[in-house]
Chain A
Amino acid sequence: GAVVSQHPSRVICKSGTSVKIECRSLDFQATTMFWYRQFPKQSLMLMATSNEGSKATYEQGVEKDKFLINHASLTLSTLTVTSAHPEDSSFYICSATPGNVGETQYFGPGTRLLVL
């Protein structure tokens, strides 16, 4: 149980384009999902907390207009990187929790984004 999928697993795009990443909880309902970013040899960095039916909560320093989050259902959250630039190249990972915000998180396999 507690499986989270993420799509696509890998994407290469040109600078200036937008990229959408989907995160799905496959066997449980997730009121809350989280989006992280991880640069090579660095730790996970929480970008935003995605709440079903309401606006996402962004961490300090994360631009909400650049990283659009939509949590339209209890099993799906999307992250759109708008007007991507090479510095946005990173490993984007989502997680979901079947419980409250502070409970166990289950991670998707991540999306590796490369912006040329």
Chain B
Amino acid sequence: RKEVEQDPGPFNVPEGATVAFNCTYSNSASQSFFWYRQDCRKEPKLLMSVYSSGNEDGRFTAQLNRASQYISLLIRDSKLSDSATYLCVVNPGNNRKLIWGLGTSLAVNP
């Protein structure tokens, strides 16, 4: 089993739709989690950190389910500008480096 797994997509949704991505991780001792966004030919940018109580920032909501070892990202009222690759990142703890998922591609269509 991969340490961090994401559905690569692509997810094609119309503007205004709600879309959700899941990301599973294998190490139950993982300490913290992040969602990054990467646009084509650009560097990844931090979208949000994921806390045990969940985290909401405008149209974006991230949730953590430790029992099932997954994190989710929900995007409401999708915009064309949300089209990007969304990367799930896990901090395994013990001062080890972050583990990156391969990303989920989202295309929001007019």
Which one of A95, A100, A106, A109 lies within 8 Å of B42 (CB-CB)? A109
A106–B49 CA distance with the chains assembled, in angstroms: 13
- Does residue A114 face the partner (Cβ distance < 8 Å to B)? no
- Does residue B46 face the partner (Cβ distance < 8 Å to A)? yes
- Does residue A34 face the partner (Cβ distance < 8 Å to B)? yes
- Does residue A49 face the partner (Cβ distance < 8 Å to B)? yes
B34 to chain A, nearest CB (A): 6
Decide: A102 and B32 in contact? CB cutoff 8 A. Answer: yes
Chain A residues lying within 8 Å of B49, measured Cβ to Cβ, are 104
Main SS at interface, chain A: loop
- Does residue B59 face the partner (Cβ distance < 8 Å to A)? no
A46–B89 CA distance with the chains assembled, in angstroms: 13
Which one of B38, B94, B95, B98 lies within 8 Å of A105 (CB-CB)? B98
Main SS at interface, chain B: loop
- Does residue A93 face the partner (Cβ distance < 8 Å to B)? yes
* Contact residues on B (Cβ < 8 Å of other chain), bracket: 20 to 34
Q: List residues 1-59 of chain B with CB under 8 A from any CB of chain A.
A: 31-32, 34, 38, 41-46, 49
* Contact residues on A (Cβ < 8 Å of other chain), bracket: 20 to 34
Chain A residues lying within 8 Å of B95, measured Cβ to Cβ, are 100-102
Decide: A103 and B91 in contact? CB cutoff 8 A. Answer: yes
- Does residue A67 face the partner (Cβ distance < 8 Å to B)? no
Decide: A43 and B42 in contact? CB cutoff 8 A. Answer: no
A77–B94 CA distance with the chains assembled, in angstroms: 24
Decide: A106 and B46 in contact? CB cutoff 8 A. Answer: yes
Decide: B32 and A110 in contact? CB cutoff 8 A. Answer: no
Residue of B nearest to A42 (CB): B102
B83 to chain A, nearest CB (A): 15
Q: Which of A46, A91, A104 has the most CB of B within 10 A?
A: A104
Nearest 8 interchain pairs by C-beta: A102-B91, A107-B43, A43-B102, A110-B43, A101-B95, A93-B43, A101-B97, A107-B44
Q: List 9 A-B contacts (CB under 8 A).
A: A44-B87, A46-B97, A93-B44, A101-B95, A102-B31, A102-B32, A102-B97, A104-B46, A106-B46
Contacts from B to A (Cβ < 8 Å): 31-32, 34, 38, 41-46, 49, 87, 91-98, 100, 102-103
